[in-house]
Amino acid sequence: MLAEFVELMLMARFQVAYSRPMSLLLGALGLGARGAWVEVEGAAVEARLGWAFRARFPHSSVKPATRSDQRVISRGVHGRNGRWLVNGAATGLVRIDLVPQQEARVLGSRVALSTLLVSMEDPDALLAALSIASEHDA
């Protein structure tokens, strides 16, 4: 039973959180909840926000993932110098630090990714999946 639970958590998709106004606005731009998620699949993690942001990196590069109480004003995809905010809400933020630095695509262009700050509907579930995957990788 535990092995099945671990396997399920190793192939799980977690939805990006949206506030009601942002759900409507970003949805109209093709960046709605349907295409916004973080997926933990075995040895890989993938994050997407529609056509605007895409990253896939090895789970072994996650060092560490934590809840974040950082205050953010903007919504959507914003960043520079390897630090990217991908969100539809100001709450449920998870910070994923990556070592070594990885690569993401923003509006189709390659960018450096060393920190991903993402708003999640269930941040604790994502953190648990990342933790279980870490233990499984060890």
Question: Dihedral sign, CA of 97, 137, 128, 42?
Answer: positive
In whole angstroms, what is the distance from residue 8 CA to residue 125 CA? 12
pLDDT in tens, 28-79: 667 777 889 899 998 899 999 889 999 999 999 999 899 998 888 878 789 9
Which pLDDT value is given to residue 15?
A: 92
Question: With respect to CATH, is domain 2-137 assigned 2.40.400?
Answer: no
Do 32 and 26 form a contact (C-beta atoms < 8 A)?
yes
In whole angstroms, what is the distance from residue 55 CA to residue 105 CA? 6
Which pLDDT value is given to residue 80?
A: 92
Quick check: 4 pLDDT over 60?
no
pTM, full prediction: 0.83
Which pLDDT value is given to residue 135?
A: 54
Quick check: 3 pLDDT over 60?
no
